[in-house]
Structure 1
Amino acid sequence: MIEGVIKFSAEHQRERLPSRRFGALGCELTAWREIMSKTQLVGRDPHLYAGAGYGNVSGRVGPPGSPLGGRAMLITGTQTGGLPQVGLDDYCLVERYDYRRNQVWSRGLVEPSSETMTHGAIYDLSPHIRFVFHGHSAVIWQQARELGIPWTDPAVPYGTPEMAMEVQRLYRTGGLSERRIVAMGGHEDGVVVFGRNAEEAGQVLMVYLARAYARTCRVGQI
């Protein structure tokens, strides 16, 4: 599977996002994106995923009660995972997304992340979910079942309407609502976390990263 390929059609308006409206949220996301970069949950490795950048972060924009498919988000743009640092110009505003039509409506200097549909599906789970982080971690992904992390069907590719429906299924019946983390069975090393605020989402990710390393230590692999 090729990393970072957009699998939806995007009706995108190329324009600079105003810092007076999105600057504060952008800085909050960038802070956690920096932590994820330093822990190699976001980045680029020429020996992995055909050298493509990986990982992305997003935060909700607007009131909690926005309609499904219209829960606007600020999300890092496609193929920004490999950038050493990001600023507001590396984010995209996704205003709407439609699973059935497999289409996204967005604005910004960059086009939306290939994982936008998955982020939207998670925001549609609950109006209280405000942040979604997607990282790549071999140590978490390889031990997901042992750590009790819900696991998507390996036959379901990332960034598709099918993945959106799979995430919703796991939220209803697979323990995702309590764990707030999911491993993407068909997306090597991919994990997604979410929370009511950025700190909650980041804490879930860091806790499971530590648990994965602790388990690796116990079996003598580090």
Structure 2
Amino acid sequence: MTEQEGVIKFQLDFRQQAALKAADVTAINSWRTIMLQLGMLGQTPLRYDNYGFGNISQRYGQSNQFIISGSQTGGITQMRAADYALVTQCQPEQNRIVAVGETKPSSEAMTHGQLYLLSADINFVIHAHCPQIWQQAAMLGLAQTDADVPYGTVAMTEEVARLFGASDVLQQGVFTMAGHEDGVVAFGISAEAAASRLVGVYAAALGRSATPD
């Protein structure tokens, strides 16, 4: 049975108020549009029981705060600042997210936050849904989280930390979530770096799919 998308599993301390301006989300919005066009995130009756899927974030300033797409905003074609949340604290050890905005942060905010905590060189994170990459993760040489670990949980943050210690995922910049259908995470020092890594792996997956056995 496929796990339902978009369920917030962490303790959320959320203050609903305007927090971001249009200028704050210009870059992230542009890259989100590209991911939407690639089918890496969005919402469609043909996938995941019509729940929104995929999310995107960027570090905010010089701290571990970050801007992230709001929960269940996958069906919005043109996002506004109000459709993003600002996460001001991520505390995996307490299963707690503190955020402010006009919409609640994505259910994957805990995983994004863990990545920003793990490396100061990570400034942009894309959680995509790509069956071509996910199904060929092993053949593509990608790090994978354990299949028994569900998304959006403390266990997932611990699993991501384990990958950072046990593999070269920081250098590779892409890993898949074996227990989260089609879940692929790409990250980098910039939006361009994260997206380039994701698209490069996607191209490799499509090339493998097109190669006869």
What is the TM-score when the length of structure 2 is the normalising length? 0.96
1:91–1:110 Cα contact (<8 Å) kept:
yes
Q: How does 1:22-41 map to 2 (within 5 A)?
A: 23-41=22-40
In structure 1, the residue matched to 2:5 is: 3
Q: Report the secondary structure of 1:100's partner residue.
A: helix
In structure 2, the residue matched to 1:140 is: 133
Distance 1:62-1:148 versus aligned 2 partners, 3 A rule = same
What residue identity is the alignment partner of 1:93?
A: L
2:187–2:194 Cα contact (<8 Å) kept:
yes
State the Cα deviation string for residues 1-45 of structure 1 (Å, max 9, x = none). 1111000111111111242xxx33411011111010001001112
Q: How far, CA to CA, are the matches of 2:198 and 2:156 in structure 1?
A: 20
Q: How far, CA to CA, are the matches of 2:183 and 2:154 in structure 1?
A: 17
Alignment: residue pair count: 211
Task: Find runs of 4+ consecutive structure 1 residues off by over 6 angstroms.
Answer: none
Q: How far, CA to CA, are the matches of 1:88 and 1:145 in structure 2?
A: 38
| Structure 1 position 47, deviation (Å) | 2.8
2:122–2:188 Cα contact (<8 Å) kept:
yes
Calculate percent identity across the aligned residue pairs: 41
State the Cα deviation string for residues 95-150 of structure 1 (Å, max 9, x = none). 00111221111000000100001001111111111000111000010001100110
Distance 1:5-1:18 versus aligned 2 partners, 3 A rule = closer
What residue identity is the alignment partner of 2:51?
A: A
Q: How does 1:177-196 map to 2 (within 5 A)?
A: 177-196=170-189
| Structure 1 position 175, deviation (Å) | 2.1
Tell me, yes or no, if structure 1 residue 117 matches structure 2 residue 110: yes
| Structure 1 position 187, deviation (Å) | 0.4
Provide structure 2 residue ranges, at least 5 long, that are not aligned to the other structure.
none
| Structure 1 position 77, deviation (Å) | 0.5
1:154–1:184 Cα contact (<8 Å) kept:
yes
Deviates more, 1:172-181 or 1:147-156: 172-181
1:42–1:82 Cα contact (<8 Å) kept:
no
Q: Report the secondary structure of 2:89's partner residue.
A: strand
| Structure 1 position 166, deviation (Å) | 0.5
Tell me, yes or no, if structure 1 residue 77 matches structure 2 residue 70: yes
Give the RMSD, CA atoms, in angstroms: 1.1
2:55–2:127 Cα contact (<8 Å) kept:
yes
Q: How far, CA to CA, are the matches of 2:20 and 2:140 in structure 1?
A: 41
2:150–2:156 Cα contact (<8 Å) kept:
yes
| Structure 1 position 60, deviation (Å) | 0.4
In structure 1, the residue matched to 2:41 is: 42
In structure 2, the residue matched to 1:128 is: 121
In structure 2, the residue matched to 1:54 is: 53
| Structure 1 position 62, deviation (Å) | 2.1
Q: How far, CA to CA, are the matches of 1:133 and 1:24 in structure 2?
A: 20
Tell me, yes or no, if structure 1 residue 217 matches structure 2 residue 213: no
Provide structure 1 residue ranges, at least 5 long, that are not aligned to the other structure.
none
What is the TM-score when the length of structure 1 is the normalising length? 0.92
1:135–1:190 Cα contact (<8 Å) kept:
yes
